[in-house]
Amino acid sequence: MTQRPAPKILPRRPLRSRRNGWTIQEMIVVCAVIAVLTALVVPTYTNIKETQRRAKCQANVGGFAKMCHIYAMSKGGAANRANRLALPVGRIDDPTDATDQDNYLQIRTETYTELRTNYGLSEQLAKCESVNLIDHDWMFNTGGETMYMGLIYWGGRDDIMPGAPGDPEYYTPAWKDIHKRENPPESGIWEEYTPTTNTLVTCMMYDVNAAGNAGTDAPEDVSIMPHVGSRCKTFPSTEEPELDSVGIAVGYLDTSARWVPFGELNPLDQFQRIWYSPN
């Protein structure tokens, strides 16, 4: 019986030595992949973060509006008292008299205290995300009759905010069938009126020219209290501010809340320019 010849073993091919480093082609491919991933991930992360901020602001103003409604129902339908202090009757008759014009950025300390004590309002709920972007030591100071919080409360004034010459008057919001005897306007004006808007509360967003900050605690180089996505900047008082943020959260008398773009908001010029939803 014949034996098969043993298979031939081919000589091994010498291993190719590995060079150090990458070729230019490999580096280009890696950089291209990183660029594509960055272009996809960064906008997505930014959009998610902005969406979360909007949702948080909307939840805060909506929760605050609901607390205000519960408060009002326990007060015979009267809206929460806002900052309407010592406004002379002449202020209504003469819009050019700015004496004791109240500040829409403030709320009565007693109102905030009652909301916090009896209705569970927290400091975190009573502010929008803008307040987290600045030094807000001046917020939530309860030393006087009025105070700032991190939201703008529009209701509970029960009278008229006269406009500057040539500007329309602003009628403050209130719940329907409000009993004036439960919440009388301190100015002595008792006539009924139709509110200009149903806006009850908004994010803390305003602008003021830099000269208007002189002599105050506000830094003179800050003209805008920004909302998320915007930045502080100065501008001449005769020019409109450049608003970089896309909108603010608005809470309404019916306790609903939504995010409203700036294009759908109306300004109210006071010590500061602030914005409300006309709907």
Q: Check residue 267 and report its DSSP letter.
A: E
Task: Name residues whose C-beta falls within 8 Å of residue 66's C-beta, 6 or more positions apart in sequence.
Answer: 255
Q: What is the pLDDT of residues 169-181, one digit of tens each?
A: 777 776 644 444 4
Closest CA to 275 of 226, 202, 167: 202
**What are the sequence ranges of the domains in the chain?**
39-276
Q: Check residue 262 and report its DSSP letter.
A: G
Tokens of 186: 């301190």
Task: Name residues whose C-beta falls within 8 Å of residue 102's C-beta, 6 or more positions apart in sequence.
Answer: 82, 83, 84, 85, 87, 157
| 29-39 burial code (b ≥16 CB/10 A, e <16) | eeeeeeeeeee
Classify residue 184 as exposed, middle or buried by CB count within 10 Å of its CB (0-12, 13-18, 19+). middle
Percent of the chain with pLDDT over 70: 52
pTM confidence score: 0.69
Q: How confident is the model at residue 201 (pLDDT cuts 50, 70, 90)?
A: very high
232 and 222 Cβ atoms separated by less than 8 Å: yes
Average model confidence (pLDDT) for the chain?
A: 70
- Mean local confidence (pLDDT), 213-221: 48
Question: In DSSP terms, which residues pair with 274 in a beta bridge?
Answer: 206, 268
Cα distances (Å, whole numbers) of residue 257 to 56, 150, 194 = 11, 16, 21
58 and 65 Cβ atoms separated by less than 8 Å: no
Q: What is the pLDDT of residues 130-150, one digit of tens each?
A: 776 665 566 676 567 888 888
